[in-house]
Structure 1
């Protein structure tokens, strides 16, 4: 269940690039349908050890067998270990990426329990810690991100968060469903 067919994913990305030579699909001009090399197992294990977390199997397998971003939904898949230059135009995703890797954040329990609808009148209180126990997978722009839940009741799920307004909604039951949905053009 956790293993990926790296050749099939890369073949699909080549097909997507051929179908979108001008990179007009949302975010394609940032990731260009290209993947960085996969990470060595030792590097993935060191990341988990350093941050006190265990990566969900589908994601762990992806970065270890297929690639460590950036080809992916929205402005592209954020890397596990080293930020890609130019992942988004304003650097917001890099700031989220760095914030996620502060000591204790990834190993903390995720406080999300249920969806919270968007409410323009309600601003997010950063002290609430909505992003604890998660890390940013993709930047959608305007302070919205897809995040992978690492700890808590929703472990392994991908959620869509608007951190400015504190809304959160489930995006996918797991990383594989989320990423293959994008590969197949469903998202």
Structure 2
């Protein structure tokens, strides 16, 4: 996974996955993507960066279950009680954290939870019930996808043991497209 340079083969897979997607939003274009990056002090990881600039800025048909959000949006159930998001601060995790299983939580657990939800990631969408998919934009896991819910945070990709899919945005979309094709054929 290279989050700094787009792989033409990976981009071809993304184009194919959304070629017949009636729910796909128009792409933002490079000027809007670069303006977003400048505003937030980040560089979006590839292939997501090229995806939103040239292919689609979200899709009502997914992935995930309730659709792929536009670049600057948050899920409807996000809530107003969280602190401001800061995409330029590094995402704080590099391994699964199930805070629901913490028998003796650290004194800074609440602050760390705020960081997990608000620092260094954009929200790709939701599977419902506050199970949100994030794309990490800063920190050691830049380019990786994570599912963050009310019980914990789990990285996406075969190397983390929770799926056989490749990590990152491209692997996440490929898994969704394969599942969608399987259901369509059934």
TM superposition score normalised by structure 1: 0.71
- Determine helix, strand or coil for the equivalent of 1:141: coil
Match of 2:16?
Answer: 8
TM superposition score normalised by structure 2: 0.71
Cα gap change, 1:111 to 1:184, in 2 (>3 Å): same
User: C-alpha distance in 1, partners of 2:47/2:27?
Assistant: 14
Cα gap change, 1:120 to 1:63, in 2 (>3 Å): same
Q: State the superposition RMSD in angstroms.
A: 2.9
User: C-alpha distance in 2, partners of 1:49/1:158?
Assistant: 22
Match of 1:64?
Answer: 53
User: C-alpha distance in 2, partners of 1:74/1:125?
Assistant: 29
Task: Structure 2: give runs of 5+ residues left out of the alignment.
Answer: 1-5, 158-166
Q: How many equivalent pairs are there?
A: 155
User: C-alpha distance in 2, partners of 1:114/1:36?
Assistant: 33
- Determine helix, strand or coil for the equivalent of 1:181: helix
Per-residue displacement from partner, 1:94-127 (whole Å, max 9, x unpaired)? x58xx79x46x10001101211136367799542
CA contact (8 A) 2:71 2:122 kept: no
User: How do residues 25-174 of structure 1 correspond to structure 2 at under 5 angstroms?
Assistant: 34-70=23-59, 71-72=61-62, 73-81=64-72, 83=73, 91-93=76-78, 95=79, 102=84, 105-117=86-98, 119=100, 125-128=109-112, 129-131=115-117, 132-162=119-149, 164-165=150-151, 167-172=152-157, 173-174=167-168
Runs of 4+ displaced beyond 4 Å: 120-126
Match of 2:171?
Answer: 177
Match of 1:17?
Answer: none
Per-residue displacement from partner, 1:61-111 (whole Å, max 9, x unpaired)? 111121001232221111113x4xxx96xx215x58xx79x46x1000110
